[in-house]
């Protein structure tokens, strides 16, 4: 019976997540001697026993909740005959390459303490442990220990220190460990910043019940809260925020409360109550007790469950659902510093529920939904970032991918790891652009990535492109926008072989200088070929046409009928003042770039049928058109194609014919969706058979349309094709940076400094 000794190196998210105590416990259980310690690049273990199989199997099978093992490498050593197993605290503790985990919802153990009158953390709004609590939002630098978090100024009291130092304790090396005696504290302030008397939490809850708007400092920024059933309060919030139609998210205490407002299936319940806690878009019940202004004209409502002890205590004290929406005005980024919140939210909130733990990284709530039984991200942020995604190919050199412009994210990659940033927002805003550049620097330090290759969009006017082009001493890789969408979907699914890619979105810069957006590609990670697209139409007024869908209706009518547009259409009547000017603009191609955008086709139809002439937020016309579509309708408009070019005008003519016959809008909306879906399936099937491929990847923001997505998936599967959709990053431009990084990783290595 000779003993064996192994050096076990574990890579992944293995620091700050209770991994060493876990290994310590396993070693005791399996009679293993040796040690465990953090290194600069993960965790090292030396393990000695006659039989190490059980220990090694359990290491992978029973990984702690927040840990994620990427690789385990083994090397044989000479047995030392040591006794016992120790956690070594020396070595390169908390090294540069460790993976910071996302912020994680309060765990069951901590909730039990929160509710236990005998516990020293009873009702303490900042209870956390190794298995839960703030991480990404409080980390200021590396190595990851308390000094490099916003908890640095809170000196641990003796009982907390004892827990923190005890390898068998749930709080062993949990950096945000604290208690009422030594940790952050709540206060309630009025608009002038004066502290209000009484228990801050109970006083805030009382104000919410009275219809006040309360700013709440959360994990990644400030939220604005208001009673979700009080129409006058919600309408007041909407007015003060200048947010005309965009839906508000609603915080509910538990799943039962969620089910009282919305239909919630098992997958949705798991998503709502899981450790990441995104806002989940759900079908609202007709009788849901929600103020109409929460989500005007919307069949869906975004619900979330509490994810910090503060939110648990607050919603319990209020006793009913509350709106919890980003603390900002209009489209500005969410406020996250106390000074900023005071300045920007002073005109909106009646009171401020704040605390003295600084937020280092501004991070919005994530948004997800379930489609065909699977969770799909709409916005990937708090609870998800900065967990690395695995690239299907390895980067030979460190990569920065700067993303697009709207719904901006960036991505840093080295080896097989892709660190996609939290949601940054619309880069056109100066403050957002600053978050973008500071975020890139922060991620670079945190994950030890010094980019040598920088991937960017081809659009010369995107601030992200300009930023990339200004970076010194890097090799640049320009990635076409829709190729990036398809590459993103491939990377999301761990696929690197060629596929047919359907990329439908608003607009993206094409290789021919026109604005693409209704594209059929044959693509792998390194290259693509455009094999089909919607027929181009003018975008009269450029960006003005994106804000005013009726302009797209005019452009499409002219493309369909030339000078013989049917008279008496309501859309013309509603926009008579500028109708002929816009038509002339389109006809003469003055300030009217050509576009093949699928999003603009939805806009045209939405305006034609009177759903929406102008939008207040991106994608609004398409979203409202989808909501009007009658799910029982089985008809579909024809859409012809020739040489891979799809005649969108066929759909326009069919819509006009039905309008003039007096067919109801929900029927027209459904026939339009079904016609476009059928044509998309046909085009993809043709492309697949020509190219000898059996897989189709669907990406681009238009596939947030569940009706279209479901019809296309069903159609392709019925033809025997494998369908790839997004599960880890959004199909919208929030996923572009991952795609760009995957393209850069897949390109053949070239000599440094030569460019491309």
Binding site for Zn ion (CB under 5 A): 107, 110, 129, 131-132, 157, 160, 179, 181-182, 505, 508, 733
| DSSP SS3 for 254 | coil
Least Å distance, CB 25 to Zn ion, is: 17
Least Å distance, CB 586 to Zn ion, is: 23
Least Å distance, CB 455 to Zn ion, is: 15
Residues 651 and 672 sit within 8 Å (Cβ to Cβ): yes
Least Å distance, CB 129 to Zn ion, is: 3
Phi, psi (deg, nearest 5) at residue 658: -65, -35
Pull the structure tokens for residue 752: 């440094």
Q: Which CB atom, from 131 or from 493, has the smaller least distance to Zn ion?
A: 131
Q: Which CB atom, from 5 or from 485, has the smaller least distance to Zn ion?
A: 485
Least Å distance, CB 76 to Zn ion, is: 38
The secondary structure element, H or E, covering residue 517 is strand 515-523
Least Å distance, CB 373 to Zn ion, is: 25
**Radius of gyration of the chain measured on its C-alpha atoms:** 27
- What are the start-end ranges of the H helices in 575-663? 576-588, 598-608, 620-628, 648-660
Least Å distance, CB 262 to Zn ion, is: 28
Of 204, 427, 425, whose CA–CA distance to 326 is shortest?
425
Least Å distance, CB 477 to Zn ion, is: 18
Residue tagged 């880890």 (tokens): 728
Kindly list the distances between the CA atom of residue 113 and the CA atoms of 118, 121, 128, 167, 179, in Å, as whole numbers in the listed order.
8, 6, 10, 20, 11
Q: Which CB atom, from 107 or from 534, has the smaller least distance to Zn ion?
A: 107
Q: Which CB atom, from 275 or from 396, has the smaller least distance to Zn ion?
A: 275
Least Å distance, CB 508 to Zn ion, is: 5
DSSP state letters, 160-182: HHHHHH-TTSTTTT-TT---TTT
Q: Which CB atom, from 58 or from 157, has the smaller least distance to Zn ion?
A: 157
- What lies within 8 Å, CB to CB, of 517 at 6+ separation is 482, 503, 504, 505, 506, 507, 508, 534, 595, 596, 597, 598, 599, 600, 700, 702
Q: Which CB atom, from 160 or from 237, has the smaller least distance to Zn ion?
A: 160
Residues 520 and 530 sit within 8 Å (Cβ to Cβ): yes
Q: What is the distance between the alpha carbons of residues 620 and 584, in angstroms, rounded to a whole number?
A: 26
Residues 261 and 294 sit within 8 Å (Cβ to Cβ): no
Q: Which CB atom, from 41 or from 109, has the smaller least distance to Zn ion?
A: 109
Residues 705 and 371 sit within 8 Å (Cβ to Cβ): no
Pull the structure tokens for residue 698: 């669907």
Q: Which CB atom, from 220 or from 730, has the smaller least distance to Zn ion?
A: 730
Residue tagged 């390194």 (tokens): 526
Q: Which CB atom, from 479 or from 744, has the smaller least distance to Zn ion?
A: 479
Least Å distance, CB 179 to Zn ion, is: 3
Q: Which CB atom, from 129 or from 315, has the smaller least distance to Zn ion?
A: 129
Phi, psi (deg, nearest 5) at residue 643: 60, 35
Pull the structure tokens for residue 14: 């293995």
Phi, psi (deg, nearest 5) at residue 27: -60, -45
Pull the structure tokens for residue 216: 């709440």
Cross-strand bridge partners of residue 223: 216, 326
Is the CA virtual torsion 556, 561, 562, 567 positive or negative?
negative
Q: Which CB atom, from 186 or from 668, has the smaller least distance to Zn ion?
A: 186
| End-to-end CA gap in the chain | 60
Of 247, 419, 431, 216, whose CA–CA distance to 332 is shortest?
431
Least Å distance, CB 136 to Zn ion, is: 16
Least Å distance, CB 371 to Zn ion, is: 19
Q: Which CB atom, from 129 or from 477, has the smaller least distance to Zn ion?
A: 129
Q: Which CB atom, from 169 or from 245, has the smaller least distance to Zn ion?
A: 169
HSE (CB half, 13 Å, CA atoms) of 143? 16
* Residue positions counted in the chain: 756
Least Å distance, CB 433 to Zn ion, is: 19
Q: Which CB atom, from 353 or from 486, has the smaller least distance to Zn ion?
A: 486
Q: What is the distance between the alpha carbons of residues 708 and 696, in angstroms, rounded to a whole number?
A: 15
Report strand pairing: 249-251 vs 322-326.
antiparallel
Report strand pairing: 351-355 vs 262-263.
unpaired
In the chain, DSSP finds a helix count (H) and a strand count (E) of 23, 29
Q: Which CB atom, from 230 or from 603, has the smaller least distance to Zn ion?
A: 603
Q: Which CB atom, from 160 or from 742, has the smaller least distance to Zn ion?
A: 160
- What lies within 8 Å, CB to CB, of 526 at 6+ separation is 743, 746, 747, 748
Least Å distance, CB 357 to Zn ion, is: 14
Pull the structure tokens for residue 532: 């089909």
Q: Which CB atom, from 108 or from 256, has the smaller least distance to Zn ion?
A: 108
Of 316, 327, 363, whose CA–CA distance to 217 is shortest?
327
Secondary structure percentages of the chain, helix, strand, coil, to 5: 35, 25, 40
Residues 102 and 383 sit within 8 Å (Cβ to Cβ): yes
Least Å distance, CB 365 to Zn ion, is: 20
Least Å distance, CB 174 to Zn ion, is: 8
Least Å distance, CB 292 to Zn ion, is: 32
Kindly list the distances between the CA atom of residue 371 and the CA atoms of 302, 375, 406, 666, in Å, as whole numbers in the listed order.
15, 6, 23, 22
């Amino acid at each position: 019976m000779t003993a064996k000794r192994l050096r076990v190196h574990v890579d992944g998210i293995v620091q700050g997540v209770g991994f060493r105590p876990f290994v310590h416990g396993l070693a005791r259980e399996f009679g293993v001697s040796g040690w465990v310690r953090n290194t600069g690049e993960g965790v090292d273990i030396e393990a000695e026993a006659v039989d190490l199989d059980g220990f090694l199997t359990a290491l992978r099978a029973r990984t702690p909740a927040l840990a994620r093992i990427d690789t385990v490498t083994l090397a044989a050593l000479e047995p030392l005959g040591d006794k016992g197993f120790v956690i070594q605290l020396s070595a390169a503790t908390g090294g540069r390459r460790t993976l910071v985990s996302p912020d994680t919802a309060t765990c069951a153990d901590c909730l039990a303490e929160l509710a236990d009158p005998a516990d020293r953390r009873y009702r303490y709004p900042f209870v956390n442990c190794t298995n839960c609590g703030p991480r990404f939002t409080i980390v200021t630098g590396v190595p990851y220990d308390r000094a490099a978090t916003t908890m640095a100024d809170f000196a641990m009291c003796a009982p907390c220190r004892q827990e923190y130092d005890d390898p068998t304790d749930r709080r062993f090396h949990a950096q945000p460990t604290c208690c009422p005696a030594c940790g952050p504290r709540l206060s309630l302030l009025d608009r002038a910043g004066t502290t209000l008397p009484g228990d801050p939490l109970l006083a805030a809850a009382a104000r919410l019940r009275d219809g006040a708007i309360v700013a709440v400092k959360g994990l990644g920024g400030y939220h604005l809260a208001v009673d979700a059933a009080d129409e006058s309060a919600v309408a007041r919030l909407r007015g003060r925020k200048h947010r005309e139609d965009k839906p508000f998210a609603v915080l509910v205490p538990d799943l039962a409360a969620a089910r009282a407002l919305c239909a919630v299936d098992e997958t949705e319940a798991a998503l709502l109550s899981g450790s990441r806690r995104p806002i989940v878009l759900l079908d609202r019940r007709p009788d849901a007790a929600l103020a109409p202004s929460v989500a005007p004209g919307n069949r869906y409502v975004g619900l979330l469950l509490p994810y910090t002890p503060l939110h648990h205590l607050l919603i319990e004290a209020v006793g009913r659902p509350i709106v919890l929406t980003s603390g900002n005005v209009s489209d500005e980024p969410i406020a996250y510093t106390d000074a900023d919140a005071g300045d920007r939210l002073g005109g909106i909130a009646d009171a401020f529920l704040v605390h003295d733990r600084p937020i280092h990284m501004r991070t919005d709530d994530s948004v997800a939904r379930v489609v065909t039984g699977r969770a799909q991200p709409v916005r990937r942020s708090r609870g998800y970032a900065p967990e690395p995604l695995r690239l299907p190919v390895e980067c030979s050199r460190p990569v920065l991918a700067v993303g697009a412009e709207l719904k901006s994210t960036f991505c840093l990659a080295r080896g097989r790891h892709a660190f996609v940033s939290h949601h940054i927002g619309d880069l056109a805003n100066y403050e957002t652009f600053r978050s973008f550049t500071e975020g890139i620097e922060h991620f670079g330090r945190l994950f030890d990535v010094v980019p040598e290759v920088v991937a960017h969009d081809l659009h010369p006017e995107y601030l992200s492109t300009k930023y990339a082009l200004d970076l010194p001493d890097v090799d640049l890789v320009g990635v076409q926008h829709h190729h990036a969408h398809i590459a993103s979907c491939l990377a999301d699914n761990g696929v690197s072989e060629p596929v047919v890619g359907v990329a439908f979105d608003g607009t993206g810069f094409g290789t021919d200088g026109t604005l693409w957006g209704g594209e059929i590609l044959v693509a792998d990670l390194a290259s693509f070929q455009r094999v089909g697209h919607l027929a181009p139409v003018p975008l009269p007024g450029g960006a003005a046409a994106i804000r005013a869908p009726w302009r797209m209706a005019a452009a499409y009518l002219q493309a369909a009928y030339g000078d013989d547009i049917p008279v008496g259409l309501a859309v013309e009547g509603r926009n008579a003042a500028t109708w002929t000017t816009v038509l002339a603009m389109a006809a003469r191609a003055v300030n009217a770039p050509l576009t093949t955008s699928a999003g603009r086709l939805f806009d045209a139809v939405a305006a034609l049928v009177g759903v929406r002439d102008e939008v207040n937020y991106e994608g609004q016309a398409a979203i409202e058109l989808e909501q009007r579509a009658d799910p029982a309708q089985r008809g579909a408009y024809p859409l012809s194609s020739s040489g891979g070019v799809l005649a969108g005008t066929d759909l326009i003519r069919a819509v006009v014919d039905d309008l003039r016959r007096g067919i109801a809008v929900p029927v027209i909306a459904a026939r339009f969706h079904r016609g476009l879906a059928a044509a998309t399936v046909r085009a993809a099937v043709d492309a697949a058979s020509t190219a000898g491929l059996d897989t189709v990847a669907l990406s681009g923001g238009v596939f947030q349309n569940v009706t279209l997505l479901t019809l296309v998936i069903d159609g392709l599967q019925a033809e025997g094709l494998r369908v790839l959709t997004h599960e880890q990053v959004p199909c919208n431009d929030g996923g572009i940076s991952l795609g760009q990084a995957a393209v850069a990783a897949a390109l053949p290595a070239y000599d440094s400094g030569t460019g491309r």
